[in-house]
Amino acid sequence: MRRISILGATGSVGTSTLDLVERHPDRFEVVALTAATNAIALADAARRTGAKLAVIVDETKLPELRDALAGTDCRAATGHDALLEAAAGDAEWVMAAIVGCAGLEPVMAAVEAGRTIALANKEALVTAGSLMIDAAKRTGATVLPVDSEHNAIFQCLAGNSHDGVAKLILTASGGPFRTWSKADMDVARPEQALKHPNWSMGAKISIDSATMMNKGLELIEAHHLFGLPSDRIDILVHPQSVIHSMVEYVDGSTIAQLGSPDMRIPIAHCLAWPERIETRAETLDLIKIANLSFEAPDEVRFPSLRLARAALESGKGEAIVLNAANEIAVAAFLDRKIAFGDIARIVEQAINQAESPAPQSIADVIAIDQAVRRQVGLVMPMVSA
Ligand SMILES: NC(=O)c1ccc[n+]([C@@H]2O[C@H](COP(=O)([O-])OP(=O)(O)OC[C@H]3O[C@@H](n4cnc5c(N)ncnc54)[C@H](OP(=O)(O)O)[C@@H]3O)[C@@H](O)[C@H]2O)c1
């Protein structure tokens, strides 16, 4: 029995994780579940899985959560400490699936407690990558990559000497606007940007896929997870999303991981690691797929790629600025306060204006993040006017 907790249990990755856990009740015991506001879905998942702790971040929802859990032995809780308790409590395996930098402190609590962390929350790694990896080495925590690209690379590296790696190749679907003109993209509406051609995901990552900031964040994520410099991590557009990423070795071999675009596959790999479990995800029908195609990424139509690579190469705290400005801009776009084309402009402006020394601690990361949020909040209406 693996004792697990799921942070962000009501989201896209969280519910896919629950789907797998509920298919394998003989293998997993749920200790704690968390959500931001969705008390009913949280209580429902806690009832189904027999979780012992359910944490809701929005404290006004605590009475609703308590009511919905009446008659169970699941404790309802709210507040920062309760969230950290869910992350660092009794579970040996923690799914980190909170969206955004809000997930950083819970992830670090799990790392400090030496847990095995299935990391979906890429923003935590983007903002505090070196600090997180150093802490994991110190505490003995294991960080398993859930993001399909990084999970693919993790699988392609297994059993091979890391000294023989020439480069990593991150594949990208290109998102819903892969073939759109820049002028059309500039005025795209949220419902168009949310329509990912291959993957079904939460709203924030869907918009990041449309701007291709998602691939930029993944570039930074790959650097921290696998320890390679920016110039040895390529991005390759592959519209079918069949190859999830590749590793090229010095002897000329390139190893790829393939699968249908279903997050249950990489989540299951982390859940059962180092074993394998059945997922019921569709298997590949390569005769039906017939063709796989590849394109170079276009950094003119998708400036977020250039911004993310520059932030990584700066070696300072620019990735924190990039991430915070992007989170605010994406939320504003979803609220219809700014245009699609404003997102990358706001991020670039924030990077040009913010102070971003290399963070020495998680407190430094949070201070830079908060300063950018205040600054971008002031700048944004001017940009979109
Ligand atoms: N979705 C995918 O296929 C996918 C693939 C690879 C990586 N990822 C990464 O996985 C993470 C989660 O993505 P997602 O698509 O699952 O997001 P999502 O569907 O929006 O779910 C986010 C989860 O986090 C909770 N949450 C939101 N804000 C929070 C806060 N401030 N504090 C604590 N909890 C909060 C939400 O609770 P409520 O439901 O109550 O709001 C929900 O449980 C992201 O970092 C994303 O980049 C996702």
> How long is the chain?
385
Residue 133 CA to residue 17 CA, distance in Å, equals 24
For the CA of 100, the nearest atom of ligand 1: 45
Whole-number Å distance, alpha carbon 97 to ligand 1 midpoint, is 5
Going by alpha carbons, the residue nearest to atom 29 of ligand 1 is 36
Query: What confidence score (pLDDT) does residue 384 get?
Result: 46
Residue ID of nearest Cα to ligand 1 atom 21: 11
Taking the centre of ligand 1 as the mean of its atom positions, its distance from the CA of residue 184, in whole angstroms, is: 28
What letter would DSSP give residue 259?
-
Q: Which element (helix H / strand E) includes 34?
A: strand 28-35
Domain 315-385 has CATH 1.10.1740.10: yes
Ligand 1: lining residues by beta carbon, under 6 Å: 8-14, 35-38, 57, 97-99, 102, 120-123, 147, 199, 201-205, 263
Distance 331 CA to ligand 1 centre (A): 13
The reported pLDDT for the residue numbered 382 is: 46
pLDDT at 377: 80
Cα-flanking dihedrals φ and ψ of residue 48, to 5°?
A: -65, -35
pTM, full prediction: 0.97
Ligand 1, atom 25, lies closest to the CA of 8
Q: Are 326 and 343 in contact (CB under 8 A)?
A: yes
Q: Kindly report, residue by residue over 32-90, the tens digit of the pLDDT.
A: 999 999 999 999 999 999 999 999 999 999 999 999 999 999 999 999 999 999 999 99
The per-residue pLDDT string of the chain (385 residues; one tens digit each, 9 = 90 and over) reads 999 999 999 999 999 999 999 999 999 999 999 999 999 999 999 999 999 999 999 999 999 999 999 999 999 999 999 999 999 999 999 999 999 999 999 999 999 999 999 999 999 999 999 999 999 999 999 999 999 999 999 999 999 989 999 999 999 999 999 999 999 999 999 999 999 888 889 999 999 999 999 999 999 999 999 999 999 999 999 999 999 999 999 999 999 999 999 999 999 999 999 999 999 999 999 999 999 999 999 999 999 999 999 999 999 999 999 999 999 999 999 999 999 999 999 999 999 998 899 999 999 999 999 999 999 886 665 444 3
Domain boundaries, the chain: 2-146, 315-385
| Both tokens assigned to 231 | 């110039």
Nearest CA to ligand 1 atom 17: 202
Distance 206 CA to ligand 1 centre (A): 11
Closest ligand 1 atom to the C-alpha of 217?
Answer: 47
In this structure, which CATH number among 1.10.10.10, 3.10.180.10, 3.40.50.620, 3.40.50.720 belongs to the domain 2-146? 3.40.50.720
Contact 20, 55 (CB under 8 A): no
161 Cα–ligand 1 center, Å: 34
**Ligand 1: which of 99, 217, 260, 262 to mutate, most ligand atoms within 8 Å of CB?**
99
